[in-house]
Amino acid sequence: MKVLVTGGLGFIGSHTCVSLIENGFDVVIIDNLYNSKEVVLDRIETITGVRPTFYKKDVQDLESLREIFKKEHFDAIIHFAGYKAVGESVKKPLMYYENNLESTFALLKCMEEFDVKNFVFSSSATVYGLPDKVPLTEDSPVKSATSPYGETKVMIERILTDIGNVHKDWNIALLRYFNPIGAHKSGLLGEDPNGIPNNLLPYINKVAIGLLPKVNVFGNDYPTPDGTGVRDYIHVVDLAYGHVLALKKLSTNPGLVIYNLGTGKGTSVLEVIKAYEKATGVKINYVICPRRDGDVPENYASTTKAEKELGFKCKYNIEDACRDGYNFQKAEFERQNNK
Ligand code: UFG
Average pLDDT over the chain reads: 97
> Which of 83, 96, 149, 300 is an active site residue?
149
Residue 26's identity, in one-letter code, is D
Q: What is the DSSP string of 243-295?
A: HHHHHHHHTT---EEEEEES-S--EEHHHHHHHHHHHH-----EEEEPPPTT-
- Residue 275's pLDDT band, with cuts at 50, 70 and 90, is very high
Alpha-carbon distance of 315 to 185, in angstroms, equals 13
Ligand 1 atom at shortest distance from the alpha carbon of 150: 36
- Residue 300's pLDDT band, with cuts at 50, 70 and 90, is very high
Mean pLDDT on 183-195:
94
- Exposure string for 222-241, b = 16+ CB within 10 A, e = fewer: bebeebbbbbbbbbbbbbbb
Alpha helices in 167-268 (DSSP H): 200-208, 236-250
Torsional sign, CA 127, 132, 134, 140? negative
- For 258, phi and psi rounded to 5 degrees? -130, 130
- Residue 144's pLDDT band, with cuts at 50, 70 and 90, is confident
Query: Does residue 224 have its Cβ closer than 6 Å to ligand 1?
Result: no
Alpha-carbon distance of 72 to 187, in angstroms, equals 31
Residue minimizing CA distance to atom 26 of ligand 1 = 179
Residue of 12, 130, 199, 226 best suited for mutating to test ligand 1, as the one with most atoms within 8 Å of CB: 199
Query: Does residue 126 have its Cβ closer than 6 Å to ligand 1?
Result: yes
| pLDDT, tens only, 157-168 | 999 999 999 999
The three-class DSSP label of residue 135 is coil
Partners of 28 in the beta sheet?
4, 53
Query: Does residue 179 have its Cβ closer than 6 Å to ligand 1?
Result: yes
Residue 6: partners with Cβ closer than 8 Å, 6 or more residues away: 13, 29, 30, 31, 59, 77, 78, 79, 80, 81, 103, 107
Q: Residue 137 carries which DSSP code?
A: P
Q: How many Å lie between the centroid of ligand 1 and the Cα of residue 30?
A: 27
Q: How many Å lie between the centroid of ligand 1 and the Cα of residue 86?
A: 9
Reference 284, options 214, 219, 236, 194; nearest CA is: 214
The three-class DSSP label of residue 9 is coil
- Check if 34 is active-site: no
- For residue 54, the model assigns a pLDDT of 98
Alpha-carbon distance of 120 to 8, in angstroms, equals 13
Residue minimizing CA distance to atom 36 of ligand 1 = 126
- Residue 93's pLDDT band, with cuts at 50, 70 and 90, is very high
Alpha-carbon distance of 241 to 335, in angstroms, equals 27
